[in-house]
Each structure stands twice: as structure tokens, then as C-alpha cells.
Amino acid sequence: MRLELAAIALGLLFYGLLFCAAAPADAAENSLTVGSKRFTESYILGEILAQTAQAAGEATVTHRAGLGNTAILFAALKNGAIDIYPEYSGTIVAELLGGMPVASLDEINRALAPLGLAAGVPLGFANTYALAMPAALAESKHINTIAELAAHPSLRVGLSQEFMQRRDGWASIKRAYALPFSPAGLDHGLAFEAMGNGQLDVTDIYTTDARIARYAMRVLVDDRKVFPRYDALLLYRADLPRRFPATWAAFRTLENRITQARMIELNAAVELHGGSFAAVAASFIGHAITPMPVPDMMARLFAGDLARLTWQHLQLVLIALGLSCAAGIPLGVWAARSRAAHALIMPAVSILQTIPALALLAILIAMLDRIGSVPAIVALFLYGLLPIVRNTATGVATVSAHQARAAAALGLGRGAILRLIELPLAARTILAGIRTAAVINVGTATIAAFIGAGGYGERIVAGLAVNDNAMLLAGALPATAMALVIEGLFGWIERRLPAVTVR
């Protein structure tokens, strides 16, 4: 019987993962998927691309907004999860091509060709990395250049996590200027507010940030020319112009249309005046930036995307929960039956629970070679195993041995005893584990937006990008409400479970 239980558990686990891995790709043949990173400018440019493609009328267009950092976008582009996204020449050279000495767009394209990718359509502006600090502080300490920072080791430095990891980021700047700092990592969208509150002295910025003037920042001169030039352009799959010629022709009309001043204006329309990414992109395509009222909290909470995000979030939670139950209950029974299995299974599912969510998603993206709902569901499935396995094992183990022996004396086999005696008696304990897993999944599913799986996390990610607390709450409050509803639903089911006794 132990072997049968093991086979059932492993079989369900295998087929659950196989179901996820074999799930149909999000993109159909005639669809075009645009990606963007998790900062204001990339959101806006992604929306401009998506709306331009939609107007061409040749493909069904999806914008996977705020997918993550450069590595995730590049991986998504290579495996076909997205078709195009806005990028910068310096990032391609220094980060994606390993720092190779490239002088022209032609050389970049020769290096990208073996990957099935290409770069083109310069948008007309450069958005360069830089270091900045409050102008008043810089003036008091007579700091105008990055080199002059080295004489002030007490300054508090906070940098975005991506900048700290990039080849052309903190490591190269620290080495070139012999800087003495050990910076803290924080989200780029929070750095300006931290600096405005006096909690931070130096941070990395983009030179098209609209908040430079608002927060009275001094951009420090890169006097040793460490940063490369970051010209905005499009990075795309090489077959895109052939697949969608009319759409590609529409993209070509964007060439050199956005000056640096115009990009700052577009960023300001979102970050300073409360416009949505889509509305600002639409106003650019219409050749005018129109004033947009800042929506109040209720308008953000019940915006038109609420139903879509709710459905996406619920799908992630329920599919993952179903897979966790299908694998976790048999594994829990096996653990209750065998000490050797218990010693193997319980530590394994406990360790899974300790893996940081973003790290697990990164591992799954690499393993499954895709972004979107599939790796998110697999991650949630793995996180849901511990409470279900543990409660199942506990519930089955607490069924008294004499009840099982009495059933065996009546001629019932091990399978019938499990089905008719042990599982019914353990039902409340098992249900409590499923309930815990469901509530955990509702909260954890918000990270799915970091890899394009949708759900309420989309609002949270967008809120982080522009430091918009109302937008953050518009994503967090529905997730909290869903968790409370699911908690209440399981409580209602538990109260209506019949009391099972075996005489």
C-alpha cells in the first residue's frame, strides 16, 4: 500500500507539473506582445508601442507591463514570450552583450543576430544613468562630480537593486572612482521620496526623471566617462518585421520623434500630474499632452481593470491550490504511513516554503523557459504544499489504530479504510491546511505581476514604479478582501462538515 500511495503522490505531482509546463502559450500566431520594465519611462514607451501596433490593425496586441528587470525582459524576448520592448543602447552593450566594445547600431545587430534578435528605430533621446544628490547638500559640501564623492564617506547612499547588480552600474562606478560606500538597495520608485525626507543623500537616477527638478536634485558629472551612452531604441525579435510588416512600418514612424525634453514631459505627466501610462501614451500619439485630473482613491480602486485583475488573480490561486491538493494530500497520507517517507517529505516541503518568492520565480523562469502564468502557478503550487501535507499527515496519524483494525476485521482493504474511515475523520484537519494554503496563495500571487502573470500585483508594481501610494493600496486592498472572502468561505464549509464518528 505504501508503494501505491507513493505512486499516486508522485504521479499527481508529475502530471500537475506537466499540465503547467504544457499549458498553451499566452501568445497566438497573430498576436504581438510588447514588454516593458518596472519604471515610469518604460511603462510609457511600452504603451506607446502597444497603442501604435493596435492602430496598425494587423495583430492582437498585448502589453506585458512592468515585467521586471533587464534580465527578465531579455529572457522573455529570447524565448518568444514577448516580441518587442523599449531598451537602451548602453544596456544592450554593457549588460546584454557582456560589455563588448560596440561603436554602432550595425555592430550591435551583428552581435544580436545569433540570438534571433535585432535592435533599431532610435526614438530620438538618450536616458543615461547618473548619480544625484540634493542640490542644497551638494552645494554645502562643494560636490559637483562623482569623483568628489570619495572625500565624503559618511554620505548615505541608496541605489536601485538593478543598478547594484549591473556590469555598467555600481561595480564599475565604485571601481573607477574608488568610492568608499556600502550602499543600501531599494526600489527606484522610492529613492526620490527617501531623499526628499532626508533619509538618503545619494542615489542613482535616469537623466529623464521628471522628479529631478521637483526634488531639487543635482546630477553629478561623470567626469571619467564611465557610463556609456544610453540611446533609447527598440529591441525586438528579428522576424517581427516579416511577421507584421504593417505594424513594423507603424513602429518606424516613431523614429526620432521623442526628444529628451518631450520624454521628461511625458514622465512628468505620470509622476507629477497623476496621469495613467495608457492616457499619457495616447496623448503623445495624438501630439498633445492634455491635463488629466488625478483620480481619487475610490476611482483607482474600482477602475475598469478591476474585473480582469480579479479573474486573473483568482485563476492563479485556484489552479495552484488544486494542484497543491492533488499532490499534497497523497504525500501527507504517505508521510503518515511511513517514518522514512515522513523524514523525506516534511523537510522537503518545509524547505520549499523558505525559498524567497522572487528567487523561486527566477529559477522557474529559467527551468520552464517562459514567463507569465505558468511559472507563477508552479511557484504557488510549491508554496501551498507545506500546510496541506503537514495537516494531512497530522490528521491521518491521529486516527486511532483500533478503528483501522476494526475496519480491517470487517474485510475492508487499506484503500477502503483510507477512503471511508481515515480521510473522513481527518477531513477538518486537512481542510484547515487547504484553507491556510489558499490564504497564503492570495497574498503570494501578487508577485506574479513581476513576470507578467497579471492579478492585483499589476497595480502594486505600477504603484512602486511611480511611488503612488494610492495605486499600491488599489492593488493591496482587493487582495486583502479576496483573502478574507476565501477565509470566510472555508470557515463556512468547515462549520457545515458533518461530525464523523466511527463506533
Euclidean distance between CA atoms 155 and 201, whole angstroms = 6
Q: What pLDDT is recorded for position 5?
A: 45
Give one DSSP letter per residue of 333-372, joined into a string: HHHHH-HHHHHHHHHHHHHHHHS-HHHHHHHHHHHHT--S
Is it the case that residue 15 has pLDDT exceeding 70? no
Q: What pLDDT is recorded for position 6?
A: 43
3-state secondary structure of 447: helix
Between 382 and 95, the more confident residue is: 382
Is it the case that residue 27 has pLDDT exceeding 70? no
Residue 331: band (very low, low, confident or very high) from pLDDT cuts 50, 70, 90: very high
| Domains assigned to the chain | 2-23+304-495 (1.10.3720.10), 36-124+230-294 (3.40.190.10), 129-219 (3.40.190.120)
List, for residues 208-263, the tens digit of each pLDDT value.
988 888 888 999 999 998 888 899 999 999 999 999 999 999 999 999 999 999 99
Could you tell me which residues come within 8 angstroms of residue 77 by beta carbon, excluding any fewer than 6 positions away?
Answer: 35, 83, 84, 85, 117, 235, 236, 237
List, for residues 417-451, the tens digit of each pLDDT value.
676 677 788 888 899 999 999 999 999 999 888 77
Is it the case that residue 503 has pLDDT exceeding 60? no
Is it the case that residue 43 has pLDDT exceeding 80? yes
What would the mean pLDDT of 63-88 be, rounded to a whole number?
88
Expressed in angstroms, the distance from the first to the final Cα of the chain is: 25
How does strand 203-206 pair with strand 129-134?
antiparallel
Q: What angle do CA 343, 395, 437 make, to 5 degrees?
A: 80
- Amino acid identity of residue 332, one-letter, is G
